[in-house]
Amino acid sequence: GCMLNGKLYPLGHTERTEDCYRCSCSRTLMSCCTLFSTPVAYDKENCEVVFNEKKCDYDVVQKNDPSKECFEVSRV
């Protein structure tokens, strides 16, 4: 298997790690990519970015009422 952040993953493909990555593990290499994209264009004065572990993605919410989402323009 392969080690990632102190956890052993089996050989083959892992759809989602505990840290929100998708990985492939071989006998000689482990390669991973994130399952989330980072918001870069949003109203930074009135909104904030919060990581949602359940969805493995960032939510952009209103600072004064985090239960309400904010409009985003783009992510990377």
End-to-end CA distance of the chain: 30
pLDDT confidence of residue 47: 95
Domains of the chain: 2-34 (no CATH), 39-75 (2.20.25.590)
Q: List, for residues 5-48, the tens digit of each pLDDT value.
A: 899 999 999 999 989 999 999 999 999 999 999 999 999 999 99
pLDDT confidence of residue 42: 92
Residue written as tokens 């952040």?
5
**Contact of 48 with 39, CB cutoff 8 Å:** no
pTM exceeds 0.95 for this model: no
> Which H or E element spans position 33?
strand 30-34
Contacts of 55 (CB under 8 A, 6+ apart): none
**Contact of 76 with 40, CB cutoff 8 Å:** yes
